[in-house]
Amino acid sequence: MEPLAWYIAGPLIGLTVPLLLLIREKQLGVSSSFRVAGSFLLPKVDYFKYNREKDYWQVFFVMGILIASVAIFNTTDFGIPPSTNVEGEAYFQAYDNAFLPIFFVGSIFIGFGARYANGCTAGHCIMGNSQFALSSLITTVFFFVGGLIATHFIVPLIFTT
């Protein structure tokens, strides 16, 4: 089906920025939930010895995301793109068990990169750019550089059936 229009979805997503600040001065972010997990799994590593309580909220936040996903996909057709793109070509079906290793390795890059860059799309691209933070502008540019390289040069090589 067709997606919810960007001019409705975008502002709704952006609204989480002031909401989180006004509730308990939290800055939108998602990937620190993995740092919380790390602090339980590798408690002796310096990086994971930190005031993890401040990031607990992200664990509940991602649990909410997961709940929404399980509830919606089990009851509706929401969220699934139409079978063809604007040019009438069939969309590639990437969600296939044959590609599990690709998703695994790709996600290691996501986890590693998010921590090294000190934030992900939520924390840098949305939250950080909403503050016009230089660190977030730099990071967002390189998110896109990495994404362009992957999409144009790596995806065609590895997603083969």
Partner 1 sequence: MKAAIYLLLGIGFGTVLIASQAFHWNRINEMFHFESFHMYGLLGSAIATGALGVWVIKKFQLKSIRGNDAAPIKKPVQPTGNVVGGLFFGLGWGVTGACTAPLFIVAGLHWQIGLVSIAGALIGTLIFGVIKNKLPK
* Interaction between residue 53 and partner 1 (CB under 8 A): no
**By the 8 A CB rule, do 28 and 123 touch?**
yes
**Total binding residues for partner 1 by CB under 8 A?**
121
Identity of the amino acid at 38: G
* Interaction between residue 55 and partner 1 (CB under 8 A): no
Closest separation in Å from C-beta 51 to partner 1: 15
Touching partner 1, residues 87-106 (CB under 8 A): 87, 91-92, 94-95, 97, 99-100, 102-106
Q: Residues 16-45: x/- map of binding to partner 1 (CB under 8 A)?
A: xxxxxxxxxx-xx-xx--xx-xx--xx--x
The C-alpha atoms of residue 113 and residue 22 are separated, in whole angstroms, by 29
The helix/strand count (H/E) of the chain reads as 7, 0
28 token code pair: 């939108």
